[in-house]
Copies of this chain bind each other. A is one copy, B any other.
């Protein structure tokens, strides 16, 4: 049964939104809706215009017989600024400060609305990059890594300090925790990451960066490449083991002036949007 344009638009929007970065052929849509390819092309122009006007993402069209369209989600600068200011206010709350200057974030990193936006924002930085997998450290990095992986539509892998029997053979590396100068071990299931992968490292919180440096070492053990490193929040640190990373928030606790917490925007906005400017 031939489908009306309005019905096609609704279903095509859903279909493409659920499959970011995947090329969908004109033929597939033509068959799915029993419609001419010329009609599908017009539909795609409407989708492209709307996604662009609303700052939802790019709709890239690939011409030719094997052509089609690919939806690449991004977040426009205005929405990004609003989002970062919202989470900044949310985190800038002295009841979040725990003994030792740690900050409670688990509630925010358990909220689908925040994760969806954070994932879309982080994916925006890698709009033009090929990424094969997202890597994070158990347990608290998982939600954000999953959210980013959804937007990039690639698998995510979880590095653990205590790989269980259900992981099978693992590759392990030792790393130096930046804060306490202890040597720790982290492992990744051999089977979970393909050799030579291009990897985006994601974590919830970074102080000196020891865990992240460990993950970078692990990527090289898989002959892979670290495409980038993104964290939800960076803390203050006397020593910093790495300098190339982006953060949504900067969190400082136990300040000299007696304030319990001061949260400011991280370096993300500069890093993402400078390239467009």
A-side residues, CB < 8 A to B, are 5-7, 9-11, 13-14, 17-19, 46-47, 49-51, 53-54, 56, 98-100, 102-107, 110-113, 115-116, 138-140, 142-143, 146-147, 149-150, 153-158, 160, 164-168, 189, 191-192, 205
**What residues of B have a CB within 8 angstroms of the CB of A13 in the complex?**
9-10, 13-14, 17
A153 touches which one: B56, B112, B147 (CB < 8 A)? B112
**What residues of B have a CB within 8 angstroms of the CB of A19 in the complex?**
113
A139 touches which one: B9, B14, B160 (CB < 8 A)? B160
**What residues of B have a CB within 8 angstroms of the CB of A5 in the complex?**
6
Selected A-B contacts with CB under 8 Å, 26 pairs:
A7-B46, A7-B49, A7-B50, A10-B51, A14-B51, A19-B113, A98-B165, A98-B166, A99-B165, A102-B165, A102-B166, A103-B166, A104-B166, A104-B189, A106-B189, A110-B149, A110-B158, A110-B192, A111-B155, A112-B146, A113-B153, A115-B150, A139-B142, A139-B158, A140-B164, A166-B205
**What residues of B have a CB within 8 angstroms of the CB of A51 in the complex?**
10, 14
Asked if residues B149 and A112 are in contact (CB atoms below 8 Å), the reply is yes
Give the CA-CA distance A105 to B147 in the complex, in Å: 19
